[in-house]
Chain A
Amino acid sequence: MKFEESMKELDDIVDKLESGKLSLDESVELYSKGMKLCLECADKLNDVKGKIALLEESQQGLVAKLVEVE
């Protein structure tokens, strides 16, 4: 899942949990899922470093070539 989608799902889970409309079983299940997402998102923020790349034409279409931008 893309980070964007993970964050959206996390927001949805928090909202659902806070709505108070769930059974206890559903709450526990969503809580587990939400905490897992929290860890995944936090890991991504801690571990991944963004890159800058130039898209160049190739036989396979556009390919990314890493570049340095001052």
Chain B
Amino acid sequence: MVTFLFYVFAAVAVGGAIGVVISRSPVGSLLSMIATLGSMAAIFVLLEAHFLAAIQIIVYAGAIMVLFLFVIMLLNLGHDYQKDLKVGAFSLVSFATVGAMAYVLSRQLGAADLSDSGPGAAAIDAAIAQHGVVGAIAQPLYTTYVVPFEITGILLLVAIVGALVLAKKNVA
């Protein structure tokens, strides 16, 4: 059952990702992207990462995508969309490269034993049993990975300052 659901959501995720690239209008791309992010959340649930799934829905599919949608609708009202993906040598090369990478990855993963979900699966199960689903993320986030966490704070500050500088209205 889990395997079947995984393939369903994986197919939706890949289909959505292709839709983002080939869709004619930005709004269409965006809706495809929401489908991708939503099925990613479902895959997180299948991996028993319920907290990540909820965050994925709230932050990405919810807040960020809605913001994108607002911006695109406001900027493009009343404009015609033109298809700008040209089928040429470059797109063929790109798809061929992605295909080759997917082939190598599937060979690698196919060779491995997939009965459990990877080398860290046991450790993750133990952490969830000890701290709960949220605690299993919070514990390393504020201990082992506290430095990256703080640097992320600086990163957000820099991004906000940069955006404010560039978007400020008054330029004498």
Q: Do A and B come from one complex?
A: no
Query: B residues touching A (Cβ–Cβ < 8 Å)?
Result: none
Query: A residues touching B (Cβ–Cβ < 8 Å)?
Result: none
